[in-house]
C-alpha cells in the first residue's frame, strides 16, 4: 500500500508465527506484546523487534470492552515482562493501552496515561530507550462534544505526564475517522401490521440489508442504529412504533424494535446515518443478499 515499514506497528498482541516471519521479511520492526509467551515467540522468530508493552486499563463504560482479551496487569505483570525481555536481549521501546472502543468513561484516559508514565520510568531505569506511547482508539466519530471532552482530558494528561517532545504519541482512531463518513440507504420490500383490537399496534418493515450485511455492527459492535425516513417533513405526521427486519430467513436478523416512523410503503427508502465503522468491511452475502454499493457525493 506504499507505507514505509518504519511507520508500521504490528499492534495485535497475539501473532501467528507465520505473520511474524512476514513482518521480519518486510522489516516491520515494532510489535506490541502483553504476555510472556508472546515475548518468547518474538525472541525465537524475530529477536530484532522493538517491543511495545500493552497494559490493561479498561473504561468502566465502553461500547466494546477489550480487557478480557488483551492487556497485561500493569502492577503485577508489566514490569516483569520488561525484565523478561531484558533477559532475552530484546528491545522495549514503548507502552500502549486501549481503554475500550466507544469509551464513555472519559477519565479512563487520564488513569491510563498516568500508569504509562510509571512504566516509562521503569523501562528507562533498566536501560531501555522508551520513546513510543500508544493511547489506543475507540474515539467517537459522530459526537463532536464527546470527542472534545476526551481530547481535553488526553491533552491535559499528556502535558502533565509526557512533556518530553522526544516521546512519540500515537493512537488508533479508525472509528473516529469513518463512523460518520457513510449513510446507509435501504429499500422497504415487505411490510406487516401487528394488530390488536382492530388497531395496528406495531408496524414491521423488511428491508434489503441486515445483520449479516452492514448491520453486523449491531451484533459485533453493539451499535444502536437510527432510522430516518424520506417523507416530506411534517410536524403533524403520525408516527408508529416500528420494528425493522433484515432480508434473510433468520429471525436473528432484527435491526431495531424501538423506532418510531410514519406509515411507509413498499418501495420507500429508509436512511441510517453514521454507518461507517464496523459495517460493510465485515458484511457477508449470506442468503444471497449482496453487500451494498458505495456511492460518493461531493458536498457543495
Catalytic residue annotation: 249
Per residue, the 3-state secondary structure of 218-259, as one string, reads HHHCCCCCCCEECCCCCCCCCCEEEEEECCCCCCCCEEEEEE
CB-based contact 225:142 (threshold 8 Å): no
Q: Is 128 helix (H, G, I), strand (E, B) or coil?
A: coil
Q: Look at phi and psi of residue 115 and say left if phi exceeds 0, alpha if psi is from -120 to 50, else beta.
A: alpha
Longest Cα separation, the chain: 78
Q: How far apart are CA 46 and CA 37, in angstroms?
A: 14
Distance from the first to the final alpha carbon of the chain: 31
Residue written as grid cell 514490569: 79
Q: How far apart are CA 293 and CA 12, in angstroms?
A: 30
Residue written as grid cell 457525493: 297
HSE at residue 238, side-chain half, CA atoms within 13 A, is 5
| Residues linked to residue 198 through DSSP beta bridges, in sequence order | none
Amino acid at each position: 500500500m506504499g507505507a514505509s515499514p518504519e511507520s508500521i506497528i504490528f499492534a495485535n498482541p497475539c501473532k501467528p508465527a507465520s505473520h511474524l516471519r512476514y513482518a521480519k521479511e518486510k522489516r516491520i520492526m515494532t510489535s506490541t506484546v502483553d504476555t510472556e509467551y508472546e515475548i518468547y515467540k518474538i525472541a525465537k522468530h524475530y529477536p530484532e523487534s522493538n517491543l511495545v508493552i500493552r497494559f490493561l486499563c479498561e473504561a468502566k463504560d465502553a461500547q466494546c470492552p477489550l480487557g478480557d482479551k488483551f492487556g497485561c496487569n500493569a502492577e503485577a505483570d508489566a514490569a516483569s515482562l520488561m525484565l523478561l525481555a531484558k533477559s532475552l536481549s530484546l528491545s522495549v521501546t514503548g507502552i500502549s493501552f486501549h481503554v475500550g472502543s466507544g469509551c464513555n468513561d472519559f477519565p479512563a484516559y487520564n488513569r491510563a496515561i498516568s500508569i504509562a508514565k510509571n512504566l516509562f520510568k521503569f523501562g528507562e531505569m533498566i536501560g531501555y530507550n522508551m520513546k513510543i506511547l500508544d493511547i489506543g482508539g475507540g474515539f467517537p466519530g459522530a459526537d463532536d462534544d464527546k470527542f472534545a471532552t476526551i481530547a481535553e482530558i488526553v491533552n491535559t494528561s499528556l502535558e502533565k505526564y509526557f512533556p518530553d517532545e522526544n516521546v512519540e504519541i500515537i493512537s488508533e482512531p479508525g472509528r473516529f475517522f469513518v463512523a460518520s463518513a457513510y449513510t446507509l440507504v435501504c429499500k422497504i420490500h415487505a411490510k406487516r401490521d401487528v394488530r390488536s383490537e382492530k388497531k395496528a399496534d406495531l408496524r414491521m418493515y423488511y428491508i434489503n440489508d441486515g445483520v449479516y450485511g452492514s448491520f453486523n455492527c449491531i451484533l459485533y459492535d453493539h451499535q444502536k442504529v437510527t432510522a430516518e425516513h424520506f417523507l416530506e417533513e411534517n410536524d403533524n405526521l403520525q408516527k408508529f412504533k416500528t420494528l425493522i427486519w433484515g432480508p434473510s430467513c433468520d429471525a436473528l436478523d432484527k435491526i431495531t424494535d424501538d423506532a418510531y416512523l410514519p406509515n411507509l410503503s413498499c418501495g420507500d427508502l429508509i436512511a441510517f446515518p453514521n454507518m461507517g465503522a464496523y459495517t460493510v468491511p465485515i458484511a457477508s452475502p449470506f442468503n444471497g443478499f449482496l453487500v451494498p454499493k458505495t456511492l460518493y457525493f461531493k458536498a457543495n
